[in-house]
A = this chain, B = another copy of it.
Amino acid sequence: MQRVAETCRRLLSERGEANSVAIAADLLDDLLELQADQRLAFFELLEHQFGPDPGQVLQAAQRYAESPNAEHLIQLTAAAEPPRQELLRRLNRAPGGTAGIVSLRRALLGVLKSRPDLAAVEADFQHLLSSWFNAGFLQMEQVDWRSPAALLERIIEHEAVHAIDGWTDLRRRLQPDRRCFAFFHPQLPGEPLIFVEVALLPHMPEAIGPLIDPASASLAPRSFKVATFYSISNCQPGLKGVSLGNFLIKQVAEHLQREFPQLRTFCTLSPIPGLCTWLRGCGDWDARDDLRPRLRERLGRAHALLRSHFGDTLASLPGSFAPEAAPPELREALELLAAHYLGQESVTVRADPVARFHLGNGARLERINWAADVSRKGLKQSLGLMVNYLYDLGEVEERHERFVRGEVVSARRITQKL
């Protein structure tokens, strides 16, 4: 660590400027070989020795407050920026520097929970990576059966929503009525950052099974009316919090609209990963003064029906539940609770990450689908329910703003249930 600390100082010094690529390469080699405890020591080093000097910042801030001119502002900005940012920028000059920084951040994120004092170091990593993985620098590419095997292997590995069961399964998802697009960065050649899988369909889909059935036949292009994003997966844990998915979905939608002018609808078929957890956790409906009395009562009753069906505590909502055979009143109760969960709680409680992602992108809550994912995972997460979010590119900006203000835009068929 002694040596790493010295190399850091050397790289950041005036002296290092003349040969920074070589020094950065040495430093990177050392950093990538650190064991977990040493890596932690390195993050502590960044925290303790490469932060801004409080006294200097205060002085600069005072001068700027007294006389807010260009000179004082330049001094202030220089004094307030943590020196580790420049250190990381110089480290980035090394061959493979960007990949190295992404992997360091991955490690840092792993320890952050137990070491909240490193949050400012983490913030600097995120700040720089957000700047470098700016949408303008990302390259969207289609992934298909002509793509390198090494890339397809990454896709199989990183699919996070509906697992890909080997090459045959993948192959179906790359047929002519399916699309897969990924973002790449020039500094990480061959490494997908995030990818989205799309089904081209005649109708907005109600269930995931047929979409990912390896034995299903490929449709002809003339029947494509709806583009459905049915899976979106990040491949780089070290880029967590760097906005990628929003840009990818919109760029893919524009690309597909150009390729198939007949497409009328862009939507998702999405899981509701937080539904069952929320159901178990949400308690006393009578106390919910924020709800209209009529709705409060209906939700309470629905919840009670659920309890009578699955046991009082809903402790373990059974994965063996068969939605197709469920009594109609149970379906009605569950759909009501899901509509409320997605349409309102997602804003306030922030429980469902998928809902927050799409609604935050400006999508509309379009339709809740019964018995849509009867896989074990689907039943455990959401008792088989899935949801379509609708992307209307002309409306996303306004809808995003309404969402930020606390309002979820939902289709009529959903609002009238509530």
Contacts and interface: CB of A to CB of B under 8 A. Distances in A.
B119 A70 contact: yes
A163 interface: no
A254 to B, nearest CB: 9
Contacts of A98: 136-137
B147 A148 contact: yes
A291 interface: no
Interface stretch (A18-26, A215-223, A381-389): A18-26
Contacts of A396: 18-19
Contact of A137 (B64, B82, B187, B400): B187
Most buried by B among A54, A121, A123: A54
A250 B247 CA distance: 37
Interface string A257-279: 00000000000000000000000
Interface in A87-101: 89, 92-95, 97-98
Contacts of A399: 18
Contact of A54 (B65, B95, B97, B123): B65
A320 interface: no
A268 to B, nearest CB: 15
Contact of A73 (B15, B73, B120): B120
A80 B61 contact: yes
Copies of this protein in the assembly total 4
5 contacts: A22-B250, A54-B61, A54-B65, A73-B82, A132-B134
Given A51-B73, A58-B62, A80-B61, A17 B400 contact: yes
A332 interface: no
A43 B209 CA distance: 48
Nearest to A402: B15
A241 interface: no
A15 B401 contact: yes
B69 A404 contact: no
B70 A362 contact: no
B68 A18 contact: no
A37 interface: no
B132 A132 contact: yes
A89 B128 CA distance: 11
A310 to B, nearest CB: 37
A152 interface: yes
Contacts of A128: 131
A401 B18 contact: yes
Interface of A: 14-23, 47, 51-52, 54-55, 57-58, 60-62, 64-65, 68-71, 73-74, 76-77, 80-82, 89, 92-95, 97-98, 116-121, 123-124, 127-128, 130-132, 134-137, 139, 145-150, 152-153, 166-167, 186-187, 190, 243, 246-247, 250-251, 360-362, 396-397, 399-401, 404
Contacts of A47: 70
Contacts of A145: 148-150, 153
A19 B52 contact: no
B19 A400 contact: yes
A136 B92 contact: yes
A20 B244 CA distance: 12
Contacts of A74: 119-120, 123
Contact of A148 (B149, B250, B397): B149
A134 B250 contact: no
Contacts of A116: 70
A187 B20 contact: no
B360 A18 contact: yes
A136 B186 CA distance: 10
Nearest to A68: B54
Contact of A61 (B57, B95, B117, B186): B57
Contacts of A360: 18
Given A74-B123, A76-B80, A118-B70, A14 B401 contact: yes
